Amino acid sequence: MFQKRFQFDPETIRFVRVRRSPKARILLILLFLSLSSVTAILIYHLTVNLGINPKVTKLSLQNTELIYRYQQLNNRMNDYDGFLEEYQYVDDSIYRCILEQEPLPDYIRQPGLGGSYQYVYLEGFINSELMINTSTRADYLTLRLEMQLKSFDDLASKALEKRDLLNRKPSIQPVALGDPYWLTSVFGSRIDPVTKIYTSHYGLDFAGAVETNIYATGDGIVEYIKISSGGYGKEVVINHGFGYSTRYAHLNKIFVRKGQEIKRGQVVGLLGNSGKSTGPHLHYEVRFMNKPLNPYYFYSDDLTPEEYRKIISLPDRVDN
């Protein structure tokens, strides 16, 4: 503990060890203990006041790590904000445009949060401001994400509805483009070929060879079948839903039954000359909410025969 001391003896001309007295030894021990105590007290005050206490140091490191994690979380939320803005743009400018839906207004896309009281539990900490701001951002981002998810769900539902509408809405002509036919009467006012009276004609007349296939122009359910010697003769009415219906009249044969589900391109019957008719033809009508519409606007006349054949041969289109 103590260094050994030597003293030069001129008589013997050599160094001799100096022996301390017991008192001197005690005084040295007391001095050492005193200095140790003072040093310990100084270290204690330094660690407490300057934060060098091991426990405080650990907490300080944890606090630094916590701040870092909050900063990282805010950086991630910045990225998520960017992603969300892209989703909102695609939602409003593309999906809603295709599905003919209005863009969501700002008051829906920018939902409000509750008062600041909901973050009272985060007050009183060294980094309360950082914690409250981050929590507010996270909650606000969560609300916006939930709103965007709901919007996508609504659009998905609309897309399915739109797909169903597109399948059901009359969109091809009832006579195949590859078959020989010609239009004998168009939609609008005309002189009736039988009565010679000026009347309204609510459809198109396709003249052609007897027993030419007549195709359903959209998905639907057979709502009405009638066979008579006058009027429309043998006729079929298909309800396509969404307010649309079609009529196929003056048929030679009928291949469907009332209540039957029909697919676009399915043969419903054969062209004929039944009922009040001056020659083999199909009378074809399109109605919306029972109001007659010009069928010409419900099919494309620029299809090639090959394109038409592809349409009526799509999966699930089964001829009877």
Question: Cβ(257)–Cβ(246) under 8 Å?
Answer: no
pLDDT score for 32: 39
Count Cβ atoms within 10 A of the Cβ of residue 9 and give its class: 0-12 exposed, 13-18 middle, 19 or more buried.
exposed
Over the stretch 229-248, which tens digit does the pLDDT of each residue have?
Answer: 889 999 999 999 999 999 99
User: 282: part of which helix (H) or strand (E)?
Assistant: strand 281-288
The dihedral sign for the CA sequence 216, 218, 223, 224: negative
What average pLDDT does the segment 202-208 reach?
93
pLDDT score for 27: 43
Backbone angles phi, psi at 195, to 5 degrees: -85, -15
Give the C-alpha separation, 57 to 47, whole Å: 9
pLDDT score for 21: 45
Over the stretch 175-186, which tens digit does the pLDDT of each residue have?
Answer: 988 788 888 888
Over the stretch 126-175, which tens digit does the pLDDT of each residue have?
Answer: 777 877 787 887 888 888 888 888 888 898 888 888 889 889 999 999 99
pLDDT score for 62: 67
Which range, of 60-64, 88-92, 163-167, 259-263, averages the lowest pLDDT?
Answer: 60-64
Nearest to 214 by CA among 276, 169, 262: 262
Entry pTM: 0.59
pLDDT band at residue 220 using 50, 70 and 90 as cut-offs? very high
Q: Measured between alpha carbons, how far is residue 290 from residues 65, 137, 199, 235 in Å?
A: 71, 54, 19, 16
Which range, of 150-159, 171-180, 278-287, 309-318, averages the lowest pLDDT?
Answer: 309-318
**pLDDT higher than threshold 70 for residue 95:** yes
In angstroms, what is the C-alpha Rg of the chain? 46
Nearest to 89 by CA among 143, 139, 151: 151
User: 30: part of which helix (H) or strand (E)?
Assistant: helix 22-50
Nearest to 187 by CA among 169, 205, 207, 208: 205
pLDDT band at residue 290 using 50, 70 and 90 as cut-offs? very high
Give the C-alpha separation, 70 to 62, whole Å: 12
In whole numbers, what is the pLDDT of the chain averaged over residues?
78
Q: Which two tokens stand for residue 309?
A: 């054949």
Question: Cβ(261)–Cβ(249) under 8 Å?
Answer: no
Q: Measured between alpha carbons, how far is residue 111 from residues 6, 85, 107, 295 in Å?
A: 88, 15, 6, 46
Where do we find the tokens 């914690």? 131
Question: Cβ(294)–Cβ(282) under 8 Å?
Answer: no
The distance from CA 166 to its chain's CA centroid, rounded to whole angstroms, is 20
pLDDT score for 122: 73
**pLDDT higher than threshold 60 for residue 320:** no
pLDDT band at residue 108 using 50, 70 and 90 as cut-offs? confident
